[in-house]
Amino acid sequence: MTTATHTAVKSDTNLVSIAFVAFMGLSVLFIAGFASSATLHDTAHDMRHAIGFACH
């Protein structure tokens, strides 16, 4: 009986996942670091309206 393993596919998937999470984290840091507080507030406010959550 022969058994085949697919460890290469799993490590590639892990590498892609790590790269994606790192990219998202750096994007959040970049946006939070360079955007003005009024812009962040307006974006959050508009998103609350877009998902149907009344905020005022």
pLDDT in tens, 5-55: 655 556 778 999 999 999 999 999 988 888 888 988 898 889 899 998 877
Please give the pLDDT value at position 13: 83
pTM above 0.85, yes or no: no
Using CA atoms, how far apart are residues 42 and 50, in angstroms rounded to an integer? 12
- pLDDT of 4 strictly over 60: yes
Best CA proximity match to 45, nearest among 24, 25, 37? 37
Q: Where are the alpha helices (DSSP H) in 1-56?
A: 7-34, 37-50
